[in-house]
Amino acid sequence: MPTFADRLAEAVRAKGPLCVGLDPRWESLPKAIREKFAQLPPPMNAEAAYDQFCKKVLQLVAPYTGVVKPQSAFFEQVGPCGPQGLASLLNRAKEMGFVTILDAKRGDIASTAEAYAHAAFHGYRADSLTINPYLGRDAVEPFLSAAKKAERGTFVLVRTSNPGAGLFQNLVCDGKPLDRHVADEVVKWNASTIGTCGLGDVGAVVGATNPRELVELRAAMPDVWMLVPGYGAQGGTAADVKAAYRADGLGAIVNSSRGVTFPFHPDDPDWEAKIVEAAKKAQAELRA
Amino acid sequence: MPTFADRLAEAVRAKGPLCVGLDPRWESLPKAIREKFAQLPPPMNAEAAYDQFCKKVLQLVAPYTGVVKPQSAFFEQVGPCGPQGLASLLNRAKEMGFVTILDAKRGDIASTAEAYAHAAFHGYRADSLTINPYLGRDAVEPFLSAAKKAERGTFVLVRTSNPGAGLFQNLVCDGKPLDRHVADEVVKWNASTIGTCGLGDVGAVVGATNPRELVELRAAMPDVWMLVPGYGAQGGTAADVKAAYRADGLGAIVNSSRGVTFPFHPDDPDWEAKIVEAAKKAQAELRA
Q: Give the nearest partner residue to A167 out of B106, B116, B136, using CB atoms.
A: B136
pLDDT of residue A86: 98
Q: Is the CB of A171 less than 8 angstroms away from the CB of B162? A: no
Q: CA-to-CA distance for A284 and B113, rounded, in angstroms?
A: 31
Q: How far is A120 from chain B (nearest CA, A)?
A: 8
Q: Give the nearest partner residue to B112 out of A73, A138, A166, using CB atoms.
A: A73
Q: Is B254 left (phi over 0), alpha (psi -120 to 50) or beta?
A: beta
Angle (nearest 5°) at CA A281 between A276 and A287: 125
Which residues 79-108 in chain A show a CB within 8 A of chain B?
79-84, 86-87, 105-108
CB-based burial label for B9 (10 Å; 0-12, 13-18, 19+)? buried
Do B255 and B19 touch, CB atoms closer than 8 A?
A: yes
Q: How many CB pairs under 8 A join A and B?
A: 186
The helices-and-strands tally (H runs, E runs) of chain B is 13, 10
Q: CA-to-CA distance for B157 and B201, rounded, in angstroms?
A: 14
Query: Which chain B residue's Cα is nearest to A138?
Result: B164
Do A196 and A233 touch, CB atoms closer than 8 A?
A: no
Q: Is the CB of B73 less than 8 angstroms away from the CB of A108? A: yes
Q: How far is A267 from chain B (nearest CA, A)?
A: 22
Question: Sign of the C-alpha dihedral, residues A187, A192, A197, A203?
Answer: negative
The answer to whether B78 faces chain A, any CB pair under 8 Å, is yes
Q: Whole domain around residue A261: which residue ranges? A: 4-287
- CB contacts of A77 in chain B (<8 Å) are 115-116, 118-119, 123
pLDDT of residue B211: 85
Query: Which chain A residue's Cα is nearest to B70?
Result: A112
B164-195 pLDDT, tens digit per residue, is: 999 999 999 989 999 999 999 999 999 999 99
pLDDT of residue B19: 98
Which amino acid appears at position A140 of this protein? V
Structural Rg of chain B based on CA atoms: 18
pLDDT of residue B233: 79
The pTM of the full predicted model, rounded to 2 decimals, is 0.98
Cβ-Cβ contacts under 8 Å for A212 (sequence gap 6 or more): none
- CB contacts of B119 in chain A (<8 Å) are 73, 76-77, 79, 82
Cβ-Cβ contacts under 8 Å for A281 (sequence gap 6 or more): none
Question: Sign of the C-alpha dihedral, residues B231, B234, B239, B240?
Answer: negative
Q: Is the CB of B134 less than 8 angstroms away from the CB of A157? A: yes
Which residues 125-144 in chain A show a CB within 8 A of chain B?
132-139
Interface test with B, best of A51, A72, A88, A134 (most B CBs within 10 A): A134
Q: Is the CB of A109 less than 8 angstroms away from the CB of B135? A: no
Cβ-Cβ contacts under 8 Å for A175 (sequence gap 6 or more): none
Q: CA-to-CA distance for B179 and B198, rounded, in angstroms?
A: 23
- Estimate to the nearest angstrom the gap between the alpha carbon of A71 and the chain centroid: 8
Q: CA-to-CA distance for A120 and A87, rounded, in angstroms?
A: 9
Question: Which residues, in sequence order, are bridge partners of residue B177?
Answer: B172
- Residue B22 sits at φ, ψ, to 5 deg, of -105, 95
Note if A242 is an active site residue.
Answer: no
Say if strands B67-70 and A202-206 run parallel, antiparallel, or are unpaired.
unpaired
Those residues of chain B that have pLDDT short of 70 are none
CB-based burial label for B96 (10 Å; 0-12, 13-18, 19+)? middle
The helices-and-strands tally (H runs, E runs) of chain A is 13, 10
Q: CA-to-CA distance for A260 and B177, rounded, in angstroms?
A: 41
Q: What is the CATH number of the domain that holds A280?
A: 3.20.20.70
User: What positions of B carry a catalytic annotation?
Assistant: 105
pLDDT of residue B210: 84
Please give the tally of structural domains in chain A.
1
pLDDT of residue B235: 86
Within 10 A of B95 (CB to CB), how many other CB atoms are there?
A: 9
Those residues of chain A that have pLDDT short of 50 are none
Q: With helix as H, strand as E and coil as C, how does B39-85 read? A: CCCCCHHHHHHHHHHHHHHHHHHCCCCCEEEEEHHHHHHCCCCHHHH
Catalytic residue (choose from A55, A56, A105, A242): A105
Q: Side-chain half-sphere of A117: how many Cα atoms within 13 Å?
A: 27
Q: How far is A128 from chain B (nearest CA, A)?
A: 16
Strand order in the sheet with B176-177: A176-177, A172-173, B172-173, B176-177
